[in-house]
Amino acid sequence: MHSFKSDLHIHTVLSPCADLDMSPTNIIDRAKQLGLQCIGITDHNSTLNAKVARKLGEKQDIFVLMGAEVTSKEEAHCLCFFEKEEELDSFQVWLDEKLPKIELDTNIFGYQLVVNEEEEILDEKPYLLISAIDADIEQIYEKVHSLNGLFIPAHINKPANSLISQLGFIPPDIKADAFEISNLSIKNEFIKKNAYLKNYQFLQDSDAHFLSALGSMYCNFVMEERTFEEFRLAIKGIDGRKVETIK
Amino acid sequence: MTVRQLAQELNMNIISGEKGLDNPIEGGYTSDLLSDVMGNSEMGQCWITLQTHKNIMAIASLKEIACIVLVKGLLPNDDTKQQSNEEGIPILSTQKETFEITGEIYSLLKK
């Protein structure tokens, strides 16, 4: 069994709120410098820079989990990850259907850029990606699970855009594979105050929008190798796999 | 004023929770952040929101809210409606926006 340093919540230049330095190329280079072995690419309501990040990651032995940070109808942020490109593509089609068509004002929100391995701009997405999509939390996890993906509500301890801020508490019948807590809280203290969540798996990530934030928080995934299925086993704590949080 | 009277006065639809139509209303609270409602709403208030998730019923029950008013013609999810019936906490629906219905309820309760 090996321990893999993993930061699974990172935004690229596709997220309007991310710095323009956050190209997949720069993210992979920085991750390499920091000794991160796995990263997650999770732009707001879009997966369109995840595949190029994975290709770039392969060249430097960094495993990339492809996904998105989806904003539910309730305005709760959720990380969604997929193994295969076909699954990711199906999810993207669904996201495009559900995203409201609000024109992006780049002066206010910034740019939403799809780029290639050479950092050339392939597309600028016209509709604001940080809007709430037309699907509630149940519809999102049902969609993600129908595509064999992982569903992880993001930074649930944050006072805005989190499942707890929006819905008061985590719905007891939610089918979450894990929860992410932001570095505002120490995991054990958070669980003490939220005992009803103690049997869940928790992750901590950087939620980086700037290169300097990359790896500022991470987990160690203890597993056999870096594959999607091993991540799933680690999150579920099966067969000796586990996730170790550092804070 | 009771929930029934409020619904009649402001021409709101009664969607569920008929058992609680005689609940007295002692004020109101307007918010869509359930964590905020949990922290700041008071017993006997009517709660004006656009959230339709069943967690609104859990919060309403915990805080002994008199009724929930959904704005902009929104309707509760099925499981939300079911819980409203079980708990006898009515859900009302109005076509009006939050600003307008909050103002109208405020004026009515101030009389």
pLDDT tens figures, A82-114: 999 999 999 999 999 999 999 999 999 999 999
What is the average pLDDT across A40-50? Answer: 98
DSSP string, A90-126: HHHHHHHHHS--PBP-HHHH---EEE-TT--EEEE--
Interface contact A169, partner B, CB < 8 A: yes
Count of A-B CB contacts under 8 Å:
34
d(CA A216, CA A204): 10
Q: Three-state DSSP class for B29? A: strand
> What is the pTM (predicted TM-score) of this model?
0.92
Is residue A247's pLDDT more than 80? no
Element holding A142 (H helix, E strand): helix A137-146
Which chain A residues are within 8 Å of B61, Cβ to Cβ? none
Interface contact A139, partner B, CB < 8 A: no
Is residue B97's pLDDT more than 90? yes
Interface test with B, best of A167, A170, A174, A193 (most B CBs within 10 A): A167
Interface contact A136, partner B, CB < 8 A: yes
- Structural domain boundaries, residue B95: 3-110
**Proportion of chain B above pLDDT 70, given as a percent:** 100
Contact A234, A221 (CB under 8 A): yes
Question: Closest Cα of chain A to B77: distance in Å?
Answer: 10
Q: What is the pLDDT of residue A110?
A: 94
Q: Three-state DSSP class for B79? A: helix
d(CA B100, CA B48): 11
Tell me the CATH number at A171: 3.20.20.140
Other beta carbons within 10 angstroms of residue A216's beta carbon come to 14
Complex ipTM value: 0.79
Number of domains in chain A: 1
Q: What is the pLDDT of residue A218?
A: 96
pLDDT tens figures, A20-32: 999 999 999 999 9
Which chain B residues are within 8 Å of A165, Cβ to Cβ? 33-35
Interface test with A, best of B51, B75, B79 (most A CBs within 10 A): B51
Q: What is the pLDDT of residue A53?
A: 98
Is residue B18's pLDDT more than 80? yes
Inspect the interface and report whether the beta carbons of A167 and B38 lie closer than 8 Å: no
Other beta carbons within 10 angstroms of residue A117's beta carbon come to 14
Mean pLDDT computed over every residue of chain A: 96
- The residue with tokens 């359930």 is B34
Q: What is the pLDDT of residue A203?
A: 96
What is the average pLDDT across A215-235? Answer: 97
Is residue B71's pLDDT more than 90? yes
Mean pLDDT computed over every residue of chain B: 96
Inspect the interface and report whether the beta carbons of B34 and A166 lie closer than 8 Å: yes
Q: What is the pLDDT of residue A130?
A: 96
Interface contact A74, partner B, CB < 8 A: yes
Q: Three-state DSSP class for A7? A: strand
Inspect the interface and report whether the beta carbons of A168 and B54 lie closer than 8 Å: no
Q: What is the pLDDT of residue A148?
A: 98
Tell me the CATH number at B29: 3.40.1390.20
Q: What is the pLDDT of residue A186?
A: 85
Interface contact A78, partner B, CB < 8 A: no
Which chain A residues are within 8 Å of B77, Cβ to Cβ? 136
What is the average pLDDT across B11-17? Answer: 98
Interface contact A132, partner B, CB < 8 A: no
Q: Three-state DSSP class for A196? A: helix
d(CA A244, CA B96): 49
d(CA B13, CA B2): 15
Interface contact A142, partner B, CB < 8 A: no
Q: How far is CA A21 from the centre of its chain?
A: 19
Which chain B residues are within 8 Å of A171, Cβ to Cβ? 53-55
Contact B9, B69 (CB under 8 A): no
What is the average pLDDT across B25-43? Answer: 95
Q: What is the pLDDT of residue A165?
A: 93
Contact B70, B91 (CB under 8 A): yes
Number of domains in chain B: 1
Inspect the interface and report whether the beta carbons of B55 and A137 lie closer than 8 Å: no
pLDDT tens figures, A119-155: 999 999 999 999 999 999 999 999 999 999 999 999 9
Contact A243, A222 (CB under 8 A): yes
CA proximity to A174, closest of A184, A185, A165, A164: A164
Question: Closest Cα of chain A to B30: distance in Å?
Answer: 14
Burial class (CB in 10 A: 0-12, 13-18, 19+), B70: buried
Inspect the interface and report whether the beta carbons of B35 and A74 lie closer than 8 Å: no
Inspect the interface and report whether the beta carbons of B53 and A136 lie closer than 8 Å: yes
